[in-house]
Structure formats: C-alpha cells, structure tokens
Amino acid sequence: MPAAARYGDPAAKLDAINDVLRVQLAHRSVRRFGPRDVSDDELAAIVTAAQSASTSSNLQVWSVVAVRDPQRRARLAALAGNQAFIAQAPLFLVWIADLSRVHRLAERAGTQVGAVDYLETTIVGFVDTALAAQNAAVAAESFGLGTVFVGAVRNQPEEIAAELGLPPHAVAAFGLAVGTPDPTEAADVKPRLPREAVLHRERYDVAADAHIQAYDERLSAYNARFGLDGNWSDRALSRLAGPDSMAGRHRLREILERLGLPSR
C-alpha cells in the first residue's frame, strides 16, 4: 500500500486514493540516473505544470534555467557541494526567485517598485518558486522520471548567479536534478513523520510530538537498510546545530542584499 511505504508503517492506511496520489506517494530522491535524456517535449510539459501552480497576486516571480551542457553541470556540481549526481543527471533545473522581471517592467514603464525591496516580497519569490518546482517534480515523476531537489545551490549563490548569467534581483533558490532512475540505486521511499505528528485540528497541539519516538525507530530501520546511521531527531538536531552546520548559508542575508534583494 502506498501509505504504508510513505510512513514505514504496515498499519498506515489511505482510503482516498487516485493515480495522482500514487505518483506523489511514490516520490523518492533519485541520485543515480540512467542514460536516457529528458526530451524537449517532456521539459515543456514539466515547465507548463510548474506554471500551473498557484502564484501570489499572479506576480509569477520565478524563472527556471534548464542546464543540459555537461561542462556547466559539472561546474554547478562543484559549486553545490561536489554532488556528482548533478553532473550525471541529463537535466539540471535551477529554480530562480526572480524579482528582476518586475524591475525591468518598472523601468520600461518609467515607475518604481519599492515594495520589491522588502522581506515580504522576497518571501513571495521563494514561496512561488517552491510551489512551481513541486508541481514540476510531480509532473516529471508522472513520466517515470526521477528527481532530487538540491538546496546546496545556496551554498555559493553569487558564483551560481555568475555561472547562469542571472541579472540583479534574482537568486537561485534550489536545483532539481531530473533523469531516468537507475534501478540499481540503493534507495527507496523514505518514511515521513506520522500524519498525526503534523496534522493538527483546530488548534496546534504540542502533544503530537509523542509520535516522534515511533518515527525515529522507523527511520533508523530504513537508514540501516542502506548502511546509514541515525534517527530523525539526531539528524535534525545535527543539521540545525548552528552556523557551522549550514555549509555557508548563514551568510545568505548579506549575499541576497548584494544580489539586489535587500529584504528589509
């Protein structure tokens, strides 16, 4: 059952199910790809699905750069934590929180867009980008392709911006590697927190944290299958321990300002 795999719990059920949900529940991160390319028709469909996502006030403050060139993918891989699968994937989509387009619109109209300089608008840019990219990932997986999101493009955002020729007021939010999954990759659907840990009814209930212990046990068992250590709690606390655990992203506010997104 799809729900059992998603939660790592044989007792988990989901009675409302359809083909779209089956694709979504089967999602896993793919970091090893087969040789088949992603066709231009598939790319067009993926981007059209992305454009069908909700967007705040229809501002559409995002763009995407499709990178196929092997040498550029290799350079991006080096900038994004030396993750080899970025160079191996036939297609790497870099999703851009793009406030540059409205700046150019204002310049052509001879007016100002002062609200773009505020944190709210920066948040809108990142939220719109994430909504679009998630639609794209589901679309890609509906074609039998595999995907993995890459937050490490924020490790060195200025270098990424230079590599992609981004204009001022635009920043790479994350990448998405796309390709045919290699069936020999040692990976599976990773269990998520129990539904009861994240679904609150009417008011937030911190007692829902009681479900974390069972999840830690399930994720530990999943990790052990693939030679990994640790449960969710330990990994989450380690990842968020402090600036040293952020791979340079603790400097993001000052870098955003230099890229033209002051987020006041």
pLDDT in tens, 4-24: 999 999 999 999 999 999 999
Residue 166 has a pLDDT of 98
| DSSP conformation class of 95 | E
Question: Tokens at residue 140, please?
Answer: 């890609």
Q: What backbone torsions phi and psi does residue 196 show, to the nearest 5 degrees?
A: -65, -20
Residue 1: which pLDDT band, with cuts at 50, 70 and 90? low
Percentage with pLDDT > 70 across the chain: 100
Residue 152: which pLDDT band, with cuts at 50, 70 and 90? very high
- Order of strands across the sheet with 146-150? 62-67, 91-98, 170-179, 146-150
For the chain, the average pLDDT equals 96
Residue 88 has a pLDDT of 96
pLDDT in tens, 121-149: 999 999 999 999 999 999 999 999 999 99
Alpha helices in 9-152 (DSSP H): 19-25, 40-51, 70-79, 84-88, 100-109, 119-142
Question: Domain-by-domain residue ranges, the chain?
Answer: 29-185
Residue 71: which pLDDT band, with cuts at 50, 70 and 90? very high
Question: Tokens at residue 69, please?
Answer: 């060139």
pLDDT in tens, 167-210: 999 999 999 999 999 999 988 999 999 999 999 999 999 999 99
Name the CATH superfamily for 29-185. Answer: NADH Oxidase (3.40.109.10)
Q: What is the mean pLDDT of residues 78-87?
A: 96
pLDDT in tens, 210-223: 999 999 999 999 99
- Gap between the Cα atoms of 133 and 114, Å rounded: 27
CA dihedral 71, 73, 74, 78 (to 10 degrees): 140
- Cα angle for residues 59, 61, 62 (degrees, 5° grid): 140
